[in-house]
Amino acid sequence: MAKSYRFELPVGEDDVRQLELGDLVTLDGEIVATGGLPTHQRIIENIEGKTELPFPLDGAAFFHLPSYNVDEPGGTRIVYLNPTTSTRFNPLMPRIIRHYGLRIVCGKGGLDAECTRAMQEVGCVYLSILGGGATLHTEAVSEVVDVGWTDLISHYRLVRMRVRGLGPLTVGIDAHGNNGYEILEAEARARLPAIMAELNATRRT
């Protein structure tokens, strides 16, 4: 039975280690969000000592959550935001997760086995956030704290923001090496022969 949690960010290792696949998590506090491949490449460059980060990512809740953000006299405003597909960043995420000891990665579509290993090592979970939830997610943003790499287009910028009641988000990969996406895919593949047998048995023509 799925449990529900509400966490104040930043979360500790114990907080995320207790989570199981399918649990529902609602978040308050500070997250870092971007939707850009160039952004991930710059983060890798930082790991390699070639570039500076606009702000630290250590222990962060890192979201694949691109936004339309506008710079206004009083600061930056998020007009809307919504997740992107995390698997696009599979090749880069293991290094990022390990180097900064991320506690949460959030997006849609999950991550691969190598990312799952990195998450198990450092104590990090993957949370699935609703795609097509722009209005709900935008309502949960309470404050933009900082915006980095403003030379990039809006959805590629690295945005540090505070959220209140973001979620519920579904635990898709836990901190113990269990990847819900891979489990579901394996189960679906295992069911295919039976599903095909039924398709063949019920074909009327």
Please report, as ranges, the residues that interact with other proteins according to CB under 8 A: 1-2, 21-22, 24, 66-68, 79-82, 84-85, 87, 108-110, 128, 130-136, 138-139, 153-155, 168, 170, 172, 180-181, 184-185, 187-189, 191-192, 195-196, 198-200, 202-205
The residue whose two tokens read 């404050």 is: 143
CB of 56 to other proteins, least distance (A): 26
Which residue's CB is nearer to other proteins, number 49 or number 201?
A: 201
Are 140 and 163 spatial neighbours (Cβ–Cβ below 8 Å)? yes
Q: What gap in Å lies between CA 8 and CA 54, rounded to an integer?
A: 23
CA atoms of 70 and 44, how far apart (whole Å): 26
Nearer to other proteins, 164 or 196 (CB): 196
> In the structure encoding, which two tokens stand for residue 62, read together?
């890192």
DSSP state for residue 110 in the 8-state scheme? -
At its nearest, how many Å lie between other proteins and the CB of residue 114?
Answer: 16
CB of 76 to other proteins, least distance (A): 15
Query: Which of residues 48 and 188 has its CB atom nearest to other proteins in the complex?
Result: 188
- Residue 59: CB minimum distance to other proteins, A: 25
Q: What is the distance between the alpha carbons of residues 195 and 201, in angstroms, rounded to a whole number?
A: 10
Q: Which two tokens stand for residue 48?
A: 């390699």
